Structure 1
Amino acid sequence: MKQYRDHYFKRAKKENYPARSVYKLQELNKRFNILQKGQKILDLGAAPGSWTLFAAKKVGDKGHVLGVDIQSTETEFPANVTYLQADVFEDSPELLGAMEPHLPFDLIISDMAPKTTGVKFTDQARSLELCERARDLLPRRLKQGGNFVVKIFEGPDVKEYRESLNTIFSKVKIFKPKSSRAESKEIFVVGLGFQGGEG
């Protein structure tokens, strides 16, 4: 188990990514082909920046990634990235100003997780709340036909959450990356082909 963790940890260091989570996004992209040249992407809960860096590489010079997190990061980003330390759920002038040139986004990705307590049901409930808030941003932020990726902790509420996305996306898939730790309860819900409307 430790060896398994070390493999992704070491690989991330070697490839200059701040965290092993980058490989989850790589797997998601390989499976669903969500990252394209020239896209505008909003990355929720972006710190320390691995997803933002990988997405920036994929969208290229003509694309742009806006990474937002309540935490700061030491990561250095390329020119096609804006990193903002802010609460993505609060429409501050700074956040709205950073979003304005890129709206609506082609893709919104979220690797957000709550501060865990170790109490399974509490953690699941907090994870669900973050996912619901991310979903509620979509009508104002995601373009028609756009895609959405969100991390959620497995639990009884996942089914209902997925159903809420079924009403606003052409397809909704559940995916567990191989690079997630085996003991981890995280899975990813992928909404493809945004049709607009409320969740």
Structure 2
Amino acid sequence: MTRKDHYYNKAKQEGYRSRAAYKLKQLDDLENVISGSDTVVDLGAAPGGWLEVAAERVGPQGQVVGVDLQRIKDLEVGGGTDRVETIRGDMTEQRTRDRVTDAAGGAVDVVISDMAPNMSGEYSLDQARSLHLARQAFETALDLLDSGGNFVAKVFEGPDVDAFRADLEDEFQYVRATAPDASRESSSELYLVAKGRLTTALRPGDELEVEIVDVGSEGDGIASIDGYRLFVSGAEAGETVAVRVGDVKPNFGFAERIDRD
């Protein structure tokens, strides 16, 4: 039995709308993208396989918003549809993004995209189109994600994927490329998993002058840059010091002094 038959039949037996449901299951099992009570936005959500899995993973306290140009039939999740909302629209249009933001109630925790182009049969064209869709999903994620949020997008392997990954690495703490077992053997699809949305403008290697406003429990000085905490070793409250940024986390970072030997 081929993997295609296995996951197709498994979806039918377990009541999922598509075999793609197992791709998200495997990606989430591998990388812990979705947590209980999260708000998740699923781009290109029809027919709803990823929506079903996302709703299971966020649990009764979470929320899932699915967006697609096609109509998505209502989902019955846990006896109701109260935590799953679907929107028919184009995410490249601002009015659709506004509807998603309203439905999510503000910033979201996870954006996922299994979007793929209509296949032309010419691989180079299809690959370029898949990357374009992934970049659109990425731009949407930057608009919607809260600090520390996660992002998953599908691409086809080929030119410019490495450049796209580099762009993700500029905006997220951690990025991994993987192909779940549920992908067809003949498929060239690749999923990029990006975790820990960085909302600060600071990046490793940046040099700047900061004022130490407090001292942490470990004895490091604390600077505040637009509300972002930067821990500086060997600095005291009241000092103004020159630093080089090292590690950057979603909500805080670390720097070393460069104003003295």
Q: Check the 8 A contact 2:3/2:185 in 1, yes or no.
A: no
Runs of 5+ in structure 1 lacking a partner?
none
SS in 1 for 2:112: strand
SS of equivalent to 1:172: strand
Q: Which of structures 1 and 2 has the larger relative contact order (alpha carbons within 8 angstroms, sep 6+)?
A: 1
Count of residues paired in the alignment: 196
The answer as to 2:115 corresponding to 1:130 is no
Q: Is the 8 A contact 1:66 1:99 kept in 2?
A: no
Structure 1 residue 95 displacement after superposition: 5.0
Are the equivalent residues in 1 in contact too, given 2:91–2:140 (CA < 8 A)? no
How much has 1:196 moved relative to structure 2?
A: 2.7
Using the TM superposition, give the Cα deviation of residue 134 of structure 1 relative to its aligned residue in structure 2, in angstroms.
1.2
Aligned to 1:99: 101
| Greater C-alpha Rg | 2
Indicate the RMSD between aligned Cα atoms, in angstroms: 1.6
8 Å Cα contact 2:45/2:72 also seen in 1: no
TM-score, with length taken from structure 1? 0.93
**Would you tell me which structure has more helix in proportion to its own residues?**
1
CA apart distance, 1:139? 2.7
Deviation at 1:197, TM superposition (A): 6.9
Cα distance change of structure 1 residues 140 and 4 upon mapping to structure 2, 3 Å threshold = closer
Structure 2's unaligned 5+ residue stretches are 202-261
Q: What's the counterpart of residue 57 of structure 2?
A: 58
Is 2:195 aligned against 1:189?
no
Q: Is the 8 A contact 1:44 1:69 kept in 2?
A: yes
TM-score, with length taken from structure 2: 0.72
- Is residue 39 from structure 1 mapped to residue 38 from structure 2 by the alignment? yes
The offset of 1:165, in angstroms, is 0.6
* Distance change (3 Å), C-alpha of 1:73 and 1:138: closer
CA offset at residue 171 of structure 1? Answer: 0.9
Q: Give the equivalent residue in structure 1 for 2:68.
A: 69
**Does 2:144 match 1:176?**
no
- Provide the C-alpha distance between the structure 1 equivalents of 2:21 and 2:32, rounded to a whole number of angstroms: 15
Paired letter, 2:99: G
Distance 1:176 1:139 in 2: 23
The answer for the alignment partner of 1:28 in structure 2 is 27
